[in-house]
Structure 1
Amino acid sequence: MVFSPMPRFLLLIVLALLPAAADACTTIAFTDRTRPILAYNFDFPIGQAVVLINKKGLAKVSETEGRPARWRARYASITFNMFGRDSPMTGMNEAGLATSQMWLDEARYEASDDRPTIGVAEWMQYVLDTSATVDEALEAIAKVRIESRIPLHYKLMDAQGHAAVVEYLDGKAEIRRDDGLPVAALANDTYARSLDFMRQVQSGTAPATGSSSLARFTRAGLAQQSPRDPADDPVAKAFATLADVAQSGRTQWSIVYDLAQRTVHWHTRGNALIRSAGLAGVETSCAAPPLFVDIDEGEGSVAALFRPFSSAENEKLILATFRATPFLAHIDEATLRHSARWPATARCEM
């Protein structure tokens, strides 16, 4: 069977994620308006990736076929990328809006209509490129339609402490926020099922032990709802919560976004030291190239370690990721090189 380059690449990402589908990733939003924090565990068989600083002013086109979405990046962002530039697993922009994704078997995206299409990871870069708040992000995503077989749901949070969950169930977008989001956590079951299980735990009819999606959601939710002592460090509390819901041998990255400070902190399975970065003092115009550090590199502030990220670096990342994944190592390089070159087609319009 012969595939055109982009549909084949999307199929490969499906295959890449399938082994992690059962128990993959946890997000917790600490919605204190004075110090909003978004915390994320990325669970996957491998952990190699880069931390990217994406520049603003670029006119982009989605990699989907047919009627691809087109947009202009209004905001610079910092993202964690395993499958190449513009396809992040999670990220935050300079306005303090952050997003993350988690596997959801039940996800079924909207049917074809007149809206332009976008990929499931591109969706997150599109949100970060175009939106400063959760309100703006929800308006932006209504203008596009995800075209993919990769079943995900998403978490959004902004610097004002507003959070939302975006799920696509039975072909419809379901948005939970405000009163509809009493627990600002998300794992790998639908939000409704997760909330119901947490209530069973609170009533004493179910345990919250183990690493199942429902147990992780519950423990994360209880931590999120607990009152914050003003003397406590909210970043440290977020990391402690991520440690509680981490999965042995599977949690590759633990990431904490301090949205009010516009700073991200992380540690990885490959480097237990906490590192940090932000966009302050960085040239964010697309007149300069995007920047990167290896996700396992450095300690403390890694601002001085960022360096230009070229198409060659993007290709290196994508090829290395697939080669390191045993069940993907046989994939021919032509398809991967095609995708690696795609971000370079964006035009700088500063």
Structure 2
Amino acid sequence: MKIIAALHGLLMISTALLTLWSPIANACTRALWNTNQQAVVASRSMDWSESTQPRLMILPRGMERDGGKLGPAAVVKENPARWTSKYGSVVTSAYGVGAVDGMNEKGLAMHLLFLTATDYGAREPGKQGVQAGLWGQYLLDQAATVSEALQAMKAIQPVMVEYAGFKSSLHLAIEDASGDSALIQYIDGKPHVYHGREFRVLTNDPPYERQLAELKKRDFAQATRETPLPGNVNPVDRFIRANYFLDTLREPQSQRQAVASILSIARNVSVPFNAPYKTPGSTYDTEYRTVADLSSKQYFFELASSPNLLRVDLAKIDFQAEQAARILNPDQEDLTGEVNDRFQPMAKALF
């Protein structure tokens, strides 16, 4: 009941207060399609009670980052991680304080999602601390593959950020151009890592082992349109539907079809406008969807409130260190298709 009360209270916080990281923890779905012959593609839906003010950002190599900062505030006092980005990336930011989704130039993608049970454990001063909102960005900056990202994880500890009684309870999904995948959850102070191509879907609560247990109760071997399938917007229903429809996708004939196929999964598990959520009157509509095409290094973005699909072609971006970080507000009616040339330089990077 305390968790429900805290979440209800969070919905009342004004937009001014939402500039901190806490609301970025949300209900979302990640689905990875790594079994077709055309492209490794991953989709992600972003669900929240209001706009997270998403911005697409191009971040070059050579950027200096401080994992102890949440905006201008120092939130990790002891042994904060400080690093220089080895790889450039294209990310989706939230409230200007961190990246919740994105892909780097080597074809590693990350997705931060909400998990109530998250517990990063007591602070381990021997490990460099990274506030949870920069966890995914740290890996995009440092790793080219899932295996490299997991190795990089050994040196750091995500640190919980608390504000207004709400904690940044995040877990992480990563995948690379080979189709490798990993899901990372911190439960009871310990990391639980699920590493392998078979770990394709991630939603929210309950923790992953219990999600898998719910899925095992279903038999879809001889499925038809009459097969009972959970259809609500809670995390377990979305988890089961995403797994079910991933298994039914036909082999695509092109990269374009592969992207369209995984986007169809993201749309299926999206939350319609004003659909009831945890408590009567609460809503967590899908705000946007993304697709990372890890094979061709293209990143797609679709606002739920717009019929236009945006595309960023990472192969055409100059990620050299002397380049400026660039930003794009995707909520513009004339934006559609490739938008590489619509980004504007930032005088100062947001994080």
TM-score after normalising by structure 1? 0.80
2-side partners of 1:222 and 1:183: how far apart? 14
User: Cα distance 1:140–1:183, how it changes in 2: closer, same or farther (>3 A)?
Assistant: closer
Partner of 2:192: 174
Pair 1:27-2:30 in alignment: yes
For 1:1-350, list aligned pairs within 5 A. Answer: 12-14=20-22, 16-17=23-24, 20=26, 24-32=27-35, 34=37, 35-47=39-51, 48-62=53-67, 63=69, 64-84=76-96, 87-113=98-124, 114-148=126-160, 149-178=167-196, 182-189=198-205, 190-202=207-219, 207-226=229-248, 228-231=250-253, 233-249=257-273, 250-297=285-332, 298-311=335-348, 343=351
Separation in 2, partners of 1:175, 1:10: 30
Within 1, Cα distance between the matches of 2:198 and 2:108? 20
Go from structure 1 to structure 2 and tell me whether the alpha carbon gap of 1:131 and 1:272 turns closer, same or farther (over 3 Å shift). Answer: same
Question: Match of 2:300, SS?
Answer: strand
Instruction: Tell me which amino acid in the other structure corresponds to 1:186.
Output: L
Task: Output the amino acid matched with 2:56.
Answer: V
TM-score w.r.t. the length of structure 2 is 0.79
AA paired with 1:188? N
TM superposition shift of 1:169: 0.6
Shift in Å at residue 122 of structure 1?
0.5
Q: Which letter maps to 1:195?
A: L
Deviation at 1:12, TM superposition (A): 4.0
C-alpha distance in structure 2 between counterparts of 1:38 and 1:230, whole Å = 15
Question: Contact between 1:110 and 1:173, CA under 8 Å: does it hold in 2?
Answer: no
Aligned counterparts of 1:53 and 1:17: Cα–Cα separation in 2 = 20
Give unmatched runs, 5+ long, in structure 1: 1-8, 315-339, 344-350
Amino acid at match of 2:200: A
* Matches of 1:83 and 1:12, distance apart in 2: 7
1:42 Cα shift? 0.4
Q: Which amino acid aligns with 2:195?
A: R
Q: Tell me if the contact between 1:110 and 1:145 (Cα under 8 Å) persists in the aligned partners.
A: no
Structure 1 Cα separation of the partners of residues 331 and 311 of structure 2: 12
Tell me by how many angstroms 1:45 deviates. Answer: 2.0
Distance of 1:221 and 1:38 partners within structure 2:
13
Give 1 or 2: higher helix fraction: 1
Question: Measured at CA, do residues 170 and 11 of structure 1 come closer, stay the same or move farther in structure 2, by a change above 3 Å?
Answer: farther
What CA distance in whole angstroms lies between the structure 1 residues aligned with 2:263 and 2:63?
Answer: 34
Write the deviation string for residues 5-26 of structure 1: whole angstroms up to 9, x where unpaired. Answer: xxxx999432x357x5xxx100
Is the contact made by 1:197 and 1:206 (CA closer than 8 Å) also made in structure 2?
A: no
Whether the 8 Å CA contact 1:31–1:163 is kept in 2: the answer is no
Asked if 2 retains the 8 angstrom alpha-carbon contact of 1:117 and 1:146, the reply is yes
For 1:206 and 1:269, the matched residues in 2 are separated by 27
Matched residue type, 1:306: F
CA positional deviation for 1:72:
1.7
Q: Which region of structure 1 is more displaced relative to structure 2, 223-232 or 292-301?
A: 223-232
Aligned length: 298
What SS is found at the alignment partner of 1:271?
Answer: coil
Bigger mean CA deviation after superposition, 278-287 or 107-116: 278-287
Q: Secondary structure at the match of 1:89?
A: strand
The residue matched to 1:95 in structure 2 has which SS? coil
Over aligned residue pairs, what C-alpha RMSD do you find? Answer: 2.3
Specify whether residues 10 and 172 from structure 1 end up closer, same or farther in structure 2 by C-alpha distance, changes over 3 A only.
farther
Q: Contact 2:24–2:94 at 8 Å: present in 1 too?
A: no
Read off the aligned partner of 2:83 and give its amino acid letter: W
Measured against aligned partners, the alpha-carbon deviations of 1:222-281 in whole angstroms (never above 9, x if no partner) come to: 222335323361111111111110101210111111000000112102322111002223
Secondary structure class of the residue paired with 1:201: coil
Partner of 1:222, secondary structure, is helix
